[in-house]
Amino acid sequence: MIKQLNRRTGSGSHAILGDRHASSRLACGIHAILDDKPLIMGILNVTPDSFSDGGKFSGLNEAIQQVELMLSEGVDIIDIGGESTRPGSDSVAAGEQIRRVVPVIEAIRQQLNSDVLISIDTTLSEVAKAALDAGADIINDVSGGREDAAILTLAAQTGVPIILMHSQGMPKTMQDNPHYEDVVQEVLDVLNESIKAALKAGVKKEAIAIDPGIGFAKRKQDNIDLLAHLDKLVSTGFPVLLGTSRKRFMGTICDVTEPSELVTATAVTTALGVMAGVQMFRVHDVKENRQAADVAWAIKQSR
């Protein structure tokens, strides 16, 4: 799919950057890459403390090797983050995040000569700008634009797509006592507020995607309820990103404590998401989830 888009818009590591930031493939919004089968977003945490793979890819060589692996397995987007947002994690200053993520983005564009789409996983506008300058295409904000409103202005000014996720509070304390009366409706309400703020800042509607924030300030049943009603998120008309990869609530269901043993469980949620109309999946394990998404997509197309 990405190669087909390249033939329409030109190739090479800099040809995709449009007017400095906005990828030419994304100039008409994130919908431009959603006219085919679902997209797999591969997670690349260049952090020492992420919940599942902290420290594994904090070195540049290790990070690039992981990108090469994900590319070989059919990834569509590389999501690069320099701050862990696992429950209980501390915030990381913008300067340190930039130090971690920018060399990796530059290496993907220069050493690998790859024009794979890159998203920057951050809540801070300063980090997002540095990443976009280095060659990133998409902003992925787990705070939904609430931590640093300037990130919405940045998205509007550069024309890049932004993914707005639902959460409550900060990662340090978000799992202390989350509570919902109607989690699906409350998540939709908060996401609607984030969408309104983005539109007010000048972000185009077609540049917005949403994420229900599985595992972020959610109890086990909250996560299950959201997964059971993904169609309600899809019905908003905004592209949906689903991120269940290796998350703890599935471990409690499967009686598993090691996140890396939840690959199959993650792939099940990917297949269910495809059937519900979800279009993007953020995962650690590209190969398995690529297969799950493709098979589910083929089945769905036969309906």
Residues 158-213: pLDDT tens digits?
A: 999 999 999 986 655 556 678 899 999 999 999 999 999 999 999 999 999 999 99
CA torsion sign for 120, 1, 29, 267 is negative
Q: Which helix (H) or strand (E) holds 39?
A: strand 39-45
Q: Which helix (H) or strand (E) holds 263?
A: helix 263-276
CB count in 10 Å sphere of residue 190: 19
Cα–Cα distance, 176 to 179 (Å, whole number): 10
CA torsion sign for 186, 147, 123, 194 is positive
pLDDT score at 58? 66
Cα–Cα distance, 57 to 101 (Å, whole number): 11
Burial of 272: CB neighbours in 10 Å, binned 0-12, 13-18, 19+: middle
Give domain 34-298's CATH number out of 3.20.20.140, 3.20.20.20, 3.90.180.10, 3.40.50.620. Answer: 3.20.20.20
pLDDT score at 36? 73
pLDDT score at 88? 61
Backbone angles phi, psi at 147, to 5 degrees: -75, -40
Cα–Cα distance, 181 to 157 (Å, whole number): 37
Please say whether the beta carbons of 102 and 130 come within 8 A: yes
Q: CB-hemisphere CA count at 13 Å for 70?
A: 31
pLDDT score at 10? 33
Six-digit token pair at 216? 């972020």
pLDDT score at 142? 95
Based on the residue annotation, tell me whether 37 is a catalytic residue of this protein.
no
Six-digit token pair at 148? 């640093």
Please report, in tens digits, the pLDDT of each residue of the chain (303 residues total): 333 333 223 333 333 333 445 555 676 677 777 767 899 999 999 987 544 554 566 689 899 999 999 999 999 999 999 997 766 657 899 999 999 999 999 999 998 877 899 999 999 999 999 999 999 999 999 999 999 999 999 999 999 999 999 998 665 555 667 889 999 999 999 999 999 999 999 999 999 999 999 999 899 999 999 999 999 999 999 999 999 999 999 999 999 999 999 999 999 999 999 999 999 999 999 999 999 999 999 999 998
Cα–Cα distance, 166 to 186 (Å, whole number): 10
pLDDT score at 265? 97
pLDDT score at 161? 96
Q: In residues, how long is the chain?
A: 303
pLDDT score at 55? 57
Angstrom CA distances, 130 to 18, 21, 255, stand at 17, 11, 41
The catalytic position among 25, 129, 218, 247 is: 247
The catalytic position among 37, 86, 246, 282 is: 282
pLDDT score at 47? 83
Domain locations along the chain = 34-298
Based on the residue annotation, tell me whether 220 is a catalytic residue of this protein.
no
∠ CA 135-140-143, nearest 5°, is 140
**CA 290 from centroid of its chain's CA atoms:** 15
Please say whether the beta carbons of 286 and 263 come within 8 A: no
